[in-house]
Amino acid sequence: MLLVDAGGLFGPRNKLERDQTRFVCEVTGGFGYDAIGLGQADLNYGIGFLREMIEKNRLPFTNANVRDKATGQLLLPPWLVVQKGNVKFGIVSVLDPAEPFITMTAQDEAYQVDDPVATLRTVIPELRKQAQTIVLLSHLDLPRTESLLKEVAGVDIAVVGHTHQALPGERVVGKTVMLAAGFEGRTIGRLNGEFDRDGVMQAFTLKLVELDEKIADDAVTQEKVTQFKQKLEEARQSLRGRHQQVKGSASEQFLTQYECRKCHADIYAKLEGSRHNAALATLARKGMAQEPDCLACHTTGYEFKGGYDDKPPANRLANVQCEACHGYGSLHRRDGRWKAEARSTCVTCHDQKNSPKFDFATYWAKIRH
């Protein structure tokens, strides 16, 4: 079995996410990855953190086109050679120079990214001398990878990252099989390859495997997750104050939907049974009602001055109420103003990560008022 990740293993740029990333690295380090490509997000916490994770967890990161700007040296090994059975795989990774690095250590570090086409035209002939099958971990999304493969010969298999699209079936560009398994580990791709005596893949089948309840949990890992979540909860509690009530105006007030109801009883009645009005319960069922990143979308005004808090009276702003989309009720009561174009607010929460099936027309029909 050859196990690879095409980059983007690390989380977003804040300390809580860094703690989660540290845990994910500890666990996945035990999975025995053969190669992990570098994505921009993997430098979110700086090269020092990445190297610490590599060393502590034996994570086989590789990349051929990102350099320390000060020294001109590559950050990582440009390729890896892995033998499985009788086949030697040469694994190389590149990322997109058009995507910026925005790191928590930006003031201390800068990176330069070489052109991936030129890089691969140099690397692949060298790698061919050591390996029979070349695997590219391409953190360039699908269209850019496809363009690249039209300019670079010699790649047998390209696993694509930096994409939110999974490829369920066969896609071949020139002589290269392109593979993608979507994002966030929702699925893992499985290629069953048949390799001839020269280590050349002669046939294959593909399958996307959903990581769902049809597969039983591994008890040891599940226990680690449970223990980590307890620690994470303590960290969340200490961080909550920093996320909370940082936007908006202290001179305005959220009035709660119960005030809105006094004049708009018909609308209130319509929305009372909606999923918006049960949004906090959704979090609570998962034991995540204290997660700052989640509360912003599962309550009213969590990030705004005067917004939701779990203590009275601000806990009356639980769930997604009228003012979550239409803005401070005090503005409306004073001069009749309200956010007429509330539609634009939808996508601040119904984003690709949390609401991948969001379609305005379909969703609006559920709460039309």
Partner 1 sequence: MGRGAGPWAGLPPARLVLVLSILAALLAAVAAASAAPAAPKGTWESIVLLYHSDVGGKVEPCG
- Range 187-216, binding partner 1 (CB under 8 A): 187-197, 202, 209-213, 215-216
> How many angstroms separate the CA atoms of 260 and 201, rounded?
65
Nearer to partner 1 among residue 84 and residue 243 (C-beta)? 84
Q: Is residue 127 near partner 1 by the rule CB under 8 A?
A: no
Which residue's CB is nearer to partner 1, number 74 or number 188?
A: 188
Q: 170 vs 196, which CB is nearer to partner 1?
A: 196
Query: Cα separation of 284 and 220, whole Å?
Result: 25
The one-character DSSP state at 161 is -
CB burial of residue 323 (10 Å; 0-12, 13-18, 19+)? buried
Nearer to partner 1, 337 or 343 (CB): 343
Residue 245, judged by CB atoms within 10 A of its CB (0-12, 13-18, 19+), counts as middle
Q: Give every CB contact of residue 312 below 8 A, 6+ residues apart in sequence.
A: none
Piece of the chain touching partner 1 by CB under 8 A; list 35-43, 66-74, 241-249, 317-325: 35-43
CB of 190 to partner 1, least distance (A): 6
Tell me, by CB under 8 A, how many residues bind partner 1. 102
Asked if 149 touches partner 1 (CB under 8 A), the answer is no
Q: Which is nearer to partner 1, 156 or 259 (CB)?
A: 156
Residue 68 · residue 111 · CB < 8 Å:
yes
x/- letters, 107..126, toward partner 1 (CB under 8 A): --------------------
If DSSP states are collapsed to H, E and C, what string results for 318-333? Answer: ECCCHHHHHCCHHHHH
Give how far Cα 13 sits from Cα of 9, 41, 158, Å.
Answer: 13, 8, 28
Q: For the CB of residue 351, give the shortest distance to partner 1 in the complex, in Å.
A: 9
Q: Which is nearer to partner 1, 192 or 251 (CB)?
A: 192
The pattern of x and - marking residues 59 through 98 that bind partner 1 according to CB under 8 A reads -------------------------xxxx-----------
Cα–Cα distance measured from residue 54 to residue 77, given in angstroms and rounded to the nearest whole number: 12
Q: Is 218 in the site for partner 1 (CB under 8 A)?
A: yes
- Closest CB to partner 1 among residues 71, 230: 230
Q: Applying CB under 8 A, which part among 57-65, 153-161, 235-243, 263-271 lies near partner 1?
A: 153-161
* Binding positions for partner 1, 276-315, rule CB under 8 A: 282-283, 285-286, 288, 291, 293-294, 297-298
- Taking the complex as a whole, the smallest distance from the CB of residue 62 to partner 1 amounts, in Å, to 14
Q: What b/e readout covers 333-369, taking b as 16+ CB neighbours within 10 angstroms?
A: eeeeebeeeeeeebeebbeeeeeeeeeeeeeeeebee
Exposure string of 1-39, with b = 16+ CB inside 10 Å and e = fewer, is ebebbbbbbbbeebebbbbbbbbbbeebbeeebbbbbbb
Q: Which of 88, 229, 316, 333 binds partner 1 (CB under 8 A)?
A: 229
